[in-house]
Amino acid sequence: MTAKTFDAIIIGAGQAGPPLAGRLTAAGTSVALIERKLVGGTCVNTGCMPTKAMVASAYAAHLARRAADYGVTLSGPVGVDYKAIKARKDKVSNDARGNLESWIAGMDKCTLYRGHARFETANTVRVGDDLLSGEKIFINTGGRASVPDLPGINDISYLTNSSMMDLDVLPRHLVVVGGSYISLEFAQMFRRFGSQVTVIEKSPRLIGREDEDVSAAILSILENEDITVHLGADDISFARQGNEIAVSFSAGKARAIGSHVLLAVGRTPNTDDLGLDKAGIEVDKRGFIVVDDHLRTSVPGIWAMGDCNGKGAFTHTSYNDYEIVAANLLDNDPRKVSDRIEAYALYTDPPLGRCGMTETAVRKSGRRALVGQRPMTRVGRAIEKGETQGFMKILVDADTREILGCSVLGPGGDEAIHCVLDLMYAKAPVSTLARAMHIHPNVSELLPTIAQELKPLA
């Protein structure tokens, strides 16, 4: 056994760990960075980067099939080489991971340990035969796909968002269990690659955390691409049927038979095998590490960042966690988790950009509010691109005139949302947006117009 002492130990090399190691080592701190699997975490290896590379391939195939709509002729039918798509995706991911590993290797006073970290005390961590101690410890272990305990689940081979990245054949019929963000991106993607796709969701509508008009619009988008969606599908079970898989639901009254099944029903924090109890670190009933507004755990000298703390489930929230920790420790800047505004995107085509409160949340708050909305069928840029599905919606506090939230479902929605998000951070009144001159022709140029046409939220 080798024992070694560091100023700081970082468990997990996802989106928060490496940049924190960079800041700490630049400040003269010795750091042990521990990673049990792949540097870069979910985003680089099985999440954002590889899946969005595949979304790009799917969009290219979709656009090629619509070539005639734009006056473009092709000499033959559009084909999809799934192995080439996977190879392109792998290169994007591998290059990003390689660059990250090179950056870590170049950090003075940073030692990268490969292995499974487990706490032995509140300031000691074992990695294989190495026993590491540190005055400060930062947990950045992320999460993984949840596997529901459903009848027949152990009798079939199923896929998760991670194992989908290893798939090297195009499914004949992909059955997706779950109707939220990850599931819908994969559903549309593989339909565009040529698979038959069925989505099975137990709730009465898709992506239940969104407003009903957003859910309905996305359902329409998927159904327009011949994706079969079953809502309110309870009593889900699985069974082998020859070389295929039967997914039964609604008390056995309906079923879909697919070549592959993707489970996309939520995420579980990677905290159950870290020995947190030996360090006295508190977790909630779902296994998330309990943290305060500065991301400190229940044990002094230990912080938790990223998906494992339940404060966000995105790459950008994990990176923002790093920024909050670094600001407090190194910059005498008391940044807090509660300072940030919820913001994220759904990368279907068209994408959904979201920030702040939903209309549902605004109504529940009981405050007086204003709303402005415009369909993409009345947005010049969307018409010019031939992509008119979706709409934009802005919610405003009627008394303070501050923007409460915004949804942009349409071309470039994941980018356009940021001009609203930045104004919300600045606590600028909606008149700032209404008076701004935006560039024509763009989707976001209609946001000032919507801000001028607000009406009371009935």
Residue positions annotated with a catalytic role: 440
SS (H, E, C) 396-419: EECCCCEEEEEEEECCCHHHHHHH
308 close to 281: Cβ distance less than 8 angstroms: no
Token pair belonging to 377:
């069928």
> Which of 282, 47, 277 is CA-nearest to residue 161?
47
Give the strand pairing for 117-121 and 124-127.
antiparallel
What is residue 439's DSSP assignment? P
Neighbours of 305 (CB within 10 A): 33
- Please name the amino acid found at residue 427: K
Long-range contacts of 380-385 (CB under 8 A, 24+ apart): 380/440, 380/441, 381/411, 381/412, 381/441, 381/442, 381/443, 381/445, 382/410, 382/411, 382/443, 384/441, 385/411
> Which of 326, 264, 275 is CA-nearest to residue 299?
275
